[in-house]
Amino acid sequence: MKTRVTIFVVSILIVLSVLLGACAPAVQTAEPVAANDAQESNEVVAEEAPAAKPVTIKVVSFLTYDENKEGAEAAVVAAFQAAHPEITVDFQLLPYADYFTSLKTWIAGGTAPDVASLDLAMLQEMAASGSLADLNPMIEADSYDLSAYYQSTLDMFQNNGGQFGLPASYSNVVLYYNKNLFDAAGLPYPDATMDWDTFMSYNKQLTQDTNGDGTIDIFGTSRLWWPYYMLMTGATPFNADATACTLTDQKAIDGFQAMVDLTLTDKVAPSVNDLAAQDDWHMFEGGRIAMYPIGPWSISEFNDVITEFDWDATTLPFGPTGEKATFLFANAYSVLSSSTQQEAAFEFMKFVTGAEGDQIRQDAGFEIAPIKSVAESSFLKAMEGKKPANSAVFLDSAAFAKSVPTHARWSEIADIISGELDSALLGDITVPEAMQAACDQINPILAESK
């Protein structure tokens, strides 16, 4: 800048049995049914459709742990429990930093949960390893309507035709800006028409050594996660069939050069050393970054913490090649293939990724609902009285939001690219050298994955 089928079948039998028992007298006779006959009939119904057996599912999640002090995800689970007392949820909320390591340890040890929240990279890796259940058979058996979701958020969690997760939240990145710093510099506020040249001009005017000690105190901006600089020039890490690395193409070089120049050449964004002293999130909160690219997961804390200056948001600028882009992020819930309670797990999935769960997260200000009806009716309403005042920017940015490419070994590929770019950001190698080194490591991975 960060399943389920037995319960359903038994529930249908119960409903059908009750309906048939209730309708029988009217269909069979106009005379009253004798009390003993009614008792016998009820006993038959009870024998044919016993009460649903309570089950327990284990659910782990990182959603809202770091961003929402009101505990939105715990509220989602509590609402599900109230609606489904027959399913007990053993719920554990974990910080994102340690989450995936813990999850993989549980899977390896045979103690995996039934349901887990996953981001894109986690899900693709686990789907490829066979750790996740394909939801398509459950979706078909349940006649579950996927058209309620934004299709782009569903597409992110597919792998070789399988649907391995249902989206619970999505977000994109916009540009927050400190209005006080713009006012002090006599600059107009940035807007959706801002191109890269204007963006860089503002950055240079806003970057300041306020006390003259040779150390920058206020930065014009901060760097986004590296894929943005690839997306904004239309570059990709590999070709369409994922057989060859394409990071040495000029589009990729141009994008990553723009990223590195922010720190090394123009010095308008914090360096690695600057960020080691204080991360950019807290720099913006402290009034030390004028234009901060971030997503809606920041809304809750920033509204609570930022009291010393006014701020708003606009879209990210057009890139140096004239393209406009932002990230499309999403988090999903998935059912583990090892789960022995997949029917109950899917019932949980429908609720927490459906309109009920989405509404709770939306009301808490956590990201944006993948359920279209919730996002389009409630996101802006939930933002009333909060900053940024231009909260519609999050919905506007969806028009040019892009997702990072998916690959079974994307985490490994991403780590390689990130590592080489770190070297470029330190000035140890050039951007072309970094991309060549990355491709030299990525091409064997692509070859092994064929």
Q: Which CATH superfamily is 58-172+329-388 part of?
A: Periplasmic binding protein-like II (3.40.190.10)
pLDDT of residue 156: 87
Q: Percent of the chain at pLDDT above 70?
A: 88
pLDDT at 151 (0 to 100): 86
Dihedral class, residue 28 (left if φ above 0, else alpha if ψ from -120 to 50, else beta): alpha
Q: In the prediction, which pLDDT does 409 show? A: 86
Count the Cβ atoms, other than its own, within 10 Å of residue 110: 7
- Evaluate if residue 87 carries a pLDDT over 80: yes
- Residue 239: what pLDDT? 94
Gap between the Cα atoms of 309 and 369, Å rounded? 29
Mean pLDDT calculated for residue range 184-210? 98
CB-count burial class (<10 Å; 0-12, 13-18, 19+) for 53: exposed
CATH number of 174-327+403-448: 3.40.190.10
Q: For residues 366 and 64, give the distance between their C-alpha atoms in angstroms, rounded to a whole number.
A: 7
DSSP per position, 136-198: HHHHHHHT--GGGB-HHHHHTTEETTEE--EEEEEEE-EEEEEHHHHHHHT-PPP-TT--HHH
Please report where in the chains the tokens 């050298």 appear, as a residue.
433
Angle between helices 355-363 and 72-83 (to 10 degrees): 150
Task: Locate 6 and state its tokens.
Answer: 């037995």
What's the pLDDT at 11? 38
Task: Supply the pLDDT for residue 382.
Answer: 83
Strand partners, 89: 57
pLDDT > 50? residue 136: yes
Residues β-bridged to residue 358 = none
C-alpha to C-alpha distance for 216 and 269, rounded to whole angstroms: 10
97, 62 Cβ separation under 8 angstroms: no
Give the CA count within 13 Å in the CB-facing half-sphere of 325: 24
Domain ranges of the chain: 6-22+29-48, 58-172+329-388, 174-327+403-448
Q: pTM for this structure? A: 0.73
Q: Is the pLDDT assigned to residue 396 strictly greater than 50?
A: yes
Q: How far apart are the first and last CA of the chain?
A: 32
Is 264 in a helix, a strand, or coil? helix
pLDDT value at 91 more than 90: yes
Q: Is the pLDDT of residue 113 over 50?
A: yes
> What is residue 98's predicted lDDT score, i.e. its pLDDT?
87
Predicted confidence band of residue 51 (pLDDT cuts 50, 70, 90) = low
Supply angle C-alpha 64, 67, 70, rounded to 5.
70
- For residue 237, the SS3 value is coil
Q: Rounded distance, CA 389 to CA 111, Å?
A: 46
Closest by CA position to 71, among listed 380, 365, 311: 365
| Average of per-residue pLDDT across 400-410 | 82
Q: Has residue 279 got a pLDDT over 50? A: yes
Domains 58-172+329-388 and 174-327+403-448 share a fold: yes
